[in-house]
Structure 1
């Protein structure tokens, strides 16, 4: 008889009503002191643990909570502090911790990038000549807290040493092993102190195992985990993987650990196939990631129970952990506050708290038999079937269009070179044109006005008048600053994806479905629950009005199909690429409408293009082919004189540069200020033959860049990129910044562009 235990991998930090975000921002703005901040944060953290205990979770994670980012927490625990933050020794202060993440007037923030293929961002560790040391045993601190305050013997969560180093920067490949040898003894100390304190299990996350590794990497895993395990006598190690299946399944499950966590949701059947082919060690615990930790749909409990029974039958293991496929960090907290969604949809949803309930039900069903959860099994099946049979998921027009995609061209009329000549004549822009990425500061007044309108306190006319007033100011400000290409500011938009989710058919938006993106920045992904279709123009009114205020070109601003897909919670009953094509056809109608109304520059942003890449490189080509096709499907029907722009966020671009070029956008801007030199090296090696703007300053930091700093960054890029095709812009939208920060930074940017133009004119003369 298999013993079945319920387990969780991680819980959302933000709180049901984003209490975490508000507490952080109060502290940053000086509205509360450090003592109050830490007290409020502790209450929230303990509340999260209590909720999991109340749901009947046997193994509750501790140490997964963070003040900003769990990778940054690991860096700070081991004293990996970049020199520019002037850290010397001892515990790392809150000021230093947040400065690494956000920057300050003395030092730029550390680079931020996507956590594997999710929309969560982590702070990239900088290991330049690192001499790591333990500044504080963080997991021990939180293990003690849970035990003393709530009587919970928690499961400490630690980011594994190999994944941590693989995600870091600032060292050469040949230095990896030397660095690892410095960290492993520190991990041993952390684990031994946990063992001494009475911890029974520790969860060591090694998601890097779900990527494309080499045989030598697996040998390193064997060596490292032999050292960790041999240093312990009672503490059990759960080696946790997630996000995809394992290429080296046999080697991983036979590592010297007491348990292995596998993802049975996003593995495309690979892990189950490996179990059936190779079995699973009888002396180990299998932690089955059976509930989707990255999406919000209710589980079919009957199907999940059958899968778990199949796993047990195939392995004959003594102990099984039932758990999510990954940390629940990636989903909202609870469905109970969603009172405005239609009942068919809301019954088919499952957020973090509901997923914990599903885990408890599955554990009960396996332990006591299906009859113990028969009512819940029926309820889940009924809710899912009702949504599948709804009109929203059976739109004949949309389905016909997808079946007949050959009727929609995905090619522009002319080549880029031919188009660009026409566009230069059309716009008459100077060398190195300056622009912004799209959004301008969303002041408290803007957010207050939007709330008043949404709550019915303002009429449509009042809100439209307010938005026009904001655009009046924005256009006047851009004129004053001296930009060459303007934006309307996006004051009417709450979020670059949620806004379109509110306008397109097949979408709905939650009231409180927030998830963490980076730091205190939370987003509310829309829910793609039905067939996506165009209803009416979404951006035309604002774009046309803004253009009427100036002779300078004003860009129409849209979010691209792949980003809308990747930043939404997507229906799971049809392939994701089919949903992307539905979105693309809807956006195509919007692009054509903008052009017909005189908007001749249209930016279709794809900041999430790369983050959707599968973790296995052998799956990249198929993904990129479909993603590029979706973008071109949405943008290719315009005239040659209409200039298509796009924007992308932090990424390693060298391995997808061909796909970026294949988008055939006339101008691409890349969010690259924190890793500018690395991006430029990519273009040194591979080149780029279309319009491009590399972000010349980091908008995620409140600091205002110096003119010389922007000049240096731009001149470095111009050594490898054609000045005739180069644009000067910030590295992302300015929505989250304060107005004085934006004005100062943009004035510095425009001044830098003028100086570079003058230098170019002198050199030509």
Structure 2
């Protein structure tokens, strides 16, 4: 039913990932904020937060809803925490995406997934709504970039192992009623040779056998200092996507999710994805100023020069966890209102 629901809506709106957490669950406007609850209280607190996040999306009129990543501290490490072969006490400092140093856990043996990670959360979300739901998982390349590998001693080998594990999780998420599974791969904007050599193949291994729709989300990151400083070094045109779009266009991934609004990405790069569905980021997550509906519409109109209307999905640039709930709500409202303007223009022909 949900697939058909999706096909009926022109320009279906969604978010790229996280939404702000309520202050009783975790420190607001902070990434990787520790939980304020524990045990059974934490489990029910996460479910309450998920309900609130869903309501926030529904009140705004978002078409494809998500959990807002309310049950996760971090989009990569929360998944890794549930795997065996990784020691979180044995930490090393590594350079993340060639941008900033972070203390990360160590791979000490073969990695495996003893049990499902997000499947119960996904079932809970599915039980709360009849709308199409999207669930995000970290991509294999971004996972290896968030660890120190003391076992495989090969980025590619470890990525393939993670791809197999992600495929197990994705199949169970699909069985739990998830309509769209998104893989977050900000690393695709940095390690271009590896992406083309084996990164996209790894991602295809992660989606093997899935019947639901699949997305790869490639962005320039949250609005945190390390990312905004890096963006300042990228010059007047950000052409990183150019290096990976041609191969992604040829891949089995259904939808490419990218950052457009307030970024310096030349819109004509979207022509390299012709034929693919594209989630166009029309909301800047690195700013507290709330877009107008007209600003959103302007971004979507530009994208429509290169993406067919039935393949364009208006979206946010990235996750909104570091923003206040008020700002995030304003931005969701703007996204929906902007998409509605363009929908009406398309209907008027």
Considering the TM-score relative to the shorter chain, is it more than 0.5?
yes
CA contact (8 A) 2:152 2:158 kept: no
State the shift of 1:529 in Å.
2.7
In 1, the alpha carbon distance for the partners of 2:303 and 2:275 equals: 14
Structure 1 residues 754 and 687: CA distance shift in structure 2, 3 A:
same
In 1, the alpha carbon distance for the partners of 2:93 and 2:160 equals: 26
Higher share of residues assigned strand: 2
Give SS of 1:647's match: strand
Give SS of 2:186's match: coil
State the shift of 1:657 in Å.
1.3
Deviations 1:473-508 (A, max 9, x none): 111111111000001011221111111120111123
State the shift of 1:691 in Å.
0.7
Structure 2 match to 1:741: 327
Report how many residues are paired: 324
Q: Is 1:689 paired with 2:275?
A: yes
In 2, the alpha carbon distance for the partners of 1:599 and 1:432 equals: 20
Q: Is 1:666 paired with 2:254?
A: yes
In 1, the alpha carbon distance for the partners of 2:108 and 2:278 equals: 36
In 2, the alpha carbon distance for the partners of 1:734 and 1:525 equals: 23
Q: Is 1:711 paired with 2:297?
A: yes
Question: After the TM superposition, which residues 467-546 of structure 1 pair with which residues of structure 2 at under 5 Å, given as runs?
Answer: 467-510=46-89, 525-546=104-125
In 2, the alpha carbon distance for the partners of 1:752 and 1:598 equals: 29
CA contact (8 A) 1:567 1:608 kept: no
Give SS of 1:631's match: helix
Return the match for 2:208 from 625, 636, 651.
Answer: 636
- What is the TM-score of this pair, normalised by structure 2? 0.85
Give SS of 2:187's match: coil
Unmatched 5+ residue regions in structure 2?
Answer: 28-32, 221-238
State the shift of 1:572 in Å.
6.3
Task: Kindly name which structure, 1 or 2, has the bigger radius of gyration based on alpha carbons.
Answer: 1
CA contact (8 A) 2:91 2:105 kept: no
In 2, the alpha carbon distance for the partners of 1:601 and 1:687 equals: 19
Bigger shift: 440-449 or 482-491?
A: 440-449
Return the match for 1:451 from 11, 35, 51.
Answer: 35
In 2, the alpha carbon distance for the partners of 1:549 and 1:423 equals: 14
Question: After the TM superposition, which residues 262-273 of structure 1 pair with which residues of structure 2 at under 5 Å, given as runs?
Answer: none
Structure 1 residues 595 and 431: CA distance shift in structure 2, 3 A:
same
In 1, the alpha carbon distance for the partners of 2:75 and 2:26 equals: 15
Structure 2 match to 1:208: none
CA contact (8 A) 1:668 1:692 kept: yes
In 1, the alpha carbon distance for the partners of 2:72 and 2:41 equals: 16
State the shift of 1:727 in Å.
0.6
Give SS of 2:323's match: coil
In 1, the alpha carbon distance for the partners of 2:279 and 2:345 equals: 19
In 2, the alpha carbon distance for the partners of 1:515 and 1:736 equals: 23
In 1, the alpha carbon distance for the partners of 2:11 and 2:84 equals: 40
CA contact (8 A) 1:439 1:490 kept: yes
Give SS of 1:625's match: helix
In 2, the alpha carbon distance for the partners of 1:702 and 1:524 equals: 29
State the shift of 1:597 in Å.
1.8
CA contact (8 A) 2:283 2:317 kept: yes
Structure 1 match to 2:235: none
CA contact (8 A) 1:498 1:509 kept: no
Give SS of 1:485's match: coil
In 1, the alpha carbon distance for the partners of 2:151 and 2:251 equals: 26
Give SS of 2:214's match: strand
In 1, the alpha carbon distance for the partners of 2:163 and 2:318 equals: 23
State the shift of 1:428 in Å.
3.8
Structure 1 residues 513 and 466: CA distance shift in structure 2, 3 A:
farther
CA contact (8 A) 1:646 1:667 kept: yes
In 2, the alpha carbon distance for the partners of 1:570 and 1:512 equals: 11
State the shift of 1:469 in Å.
0.6
Structure 1 match to 2:126: 547
Structure 2 match to 1:646: 216
Question: After the TM superposition, which residues 149-228 of structure 1 pair with which residues of structure 2 at under 5 Å, given as runs?
Answer: none
Give SS of 1:526's match: strand
State the shift of 1:425 in Å.
2.8
- What is the TM-score of this pair, normalised by structure 1? 0.40
Structure 1 residues 444 and 525: CA distance shift in structure 2, 3 A:
farther
Deviations 1:501-521 (A, max 9, x none): 201111232598788979xx9
